[in-house]
Amino acid sequence: MKVLLYFEKQKSLKQSGIGRALTHQKKALELANVDYTLYKDEGFDLAHINTLFFDSYKLLKKCKKNKKLAIVHGHSTVEDFRYSFRCWRLIAPIFNRMILRMYRKADLIITPTNYSKSLIENYKRVKCPVYAVSNGIKLEDYQYNEEYVNEFKKFFNFGNKKIVISAGLYFKRKGIFDFFEVARQMPDVEFIWFGHLDKILAQGKVLRAIKKRPKNVSMPGYVDIRVLKGAFLSADAFFFPSFEENEGIAVLEAMASKTPVLVRDIGVFKDWLTDGVNCYKATDVQSFKDKLEFILNNDVTNVVNNGYMTVEERTLDKVGNKLKEIYINSYNEKKQGN
């Protein structure tokens, strides 16, 4: 059995969560000894389609016509597009139609969490099975590395100051306004937001907030991966105030780096993250500030270790085995049905 892992516009998506999902899927399938290709012109038995653009839909229809199993990956939902790009309200109806036409035509859908699974299952006319499989994490990439830590310290040169980091595109949905306000109220702590979004795509109010951000907030955009990994290994806390996620790969990366994690208390984290057990949760600026001050001034080793145990359940070998099981069972069912 040969699987087509299909990602349209790979270069433009490279820095995004979907781009990292491609890297993770390839490694997961390699670990599970699943034969795959990235090229639709090669022979394949089933397609695992990860994007929603025109060529992705065209491939989906072709698979259906040729009675080949077509799996669509639910990286995106109607909910997580809100409060994102410039003019998102105008674009949303088009984007929503793109999502729904793919999900409604799929033989089955794979999505990262039980939360996103429940959202997709409740979309009108989506009748196919939906499976929750984490995007996964390659734990060995986040082990302590003194060279990476030194490169991070050299890049920022913050001395002995406490450091809080986050990562994401410049979206209101990502909680960037709360991130700035918490930083403003904690002037003795250095805050870093990793990530970028072209100005033409970012909302005007987000760009204005970035321009007026507190002096203790650094926004380096995309940096060398060694510096970024050094940041995860060096930070005193990872602060992720996003309002809507389908998993949050950056949260997995922070936990794998044994960095204390503070997230907004939202639906996607309810069944696998517990406040004070494997992470910290809050809901607004004041409670974020209170939790960060607690993290920065107390021994939170037990919570950090529990967070690491949480991501151990999402390693790429486990993800690969789950994908392989879904592929084989669904392929056999499709073959028998034909």
Q: How confident is the model at residue 204 (pLDDT cuts 50, 70, 90)?
A: confident
Tell me the CA end-to-end span of the chain in Å, nearest whole number.
17
Lowest-confidence segment of 167-171, 188-192, 249-253 by average pLDDT: 167-171
Instruction: Note the pLDDT of residue 338.
Output: 63
CB atoms within 10 A of CB 111: 27
Q: How confident is the model at residue 9 (pLDDT cuts 50, 70, 90)?
A: low
111 forms bridges with which residues in the sheet? Answer: 132
The count of other CB atoms within 10 Å of the CB of residue 160 is 5
Choose among 232, 174, 219, 159: nearest CA to 193. 219
Q: What is the 3-state secondary structure (H, E, C) of 103-141?
A: HHHCCEEEECCHHHHHHHHCCCCCCCCEEECCCCECHHH
Residue 88 has a pLDDT of: 54
Residue 326 confidence (pLDDT): 97
Determine the 3-state secondary structure of 279 from DSSP. strand
- pLDDT at residue 86 tops 60: no
Average pLDDT, integer, range 211-235:
95
Residue 337 pLDDT: 73
Q: Is the pLDDT of residue 312 over 90?
A: yes
Q: Which residue has the tokens 């494997």?
A: 278
Among 41-50, 77-86, 93-102, 147-156, the minimum mean pLDDT is found in 77-86
pLDDT band at 224 (very low <50, low <70, confident <90, very high): very high
Average pLDDT over residues 200-224: 91
Predicted local distance difference test score (pLDDT) of residue 84: 60
- pLDDT for res 89: 61
Q: What is the per-residue pLDDT for 335?
A: 80
Can you tell me the mean pLDDT for 62-91? 78
User: Residue 280's pLDDT is what?
Assistant: 98
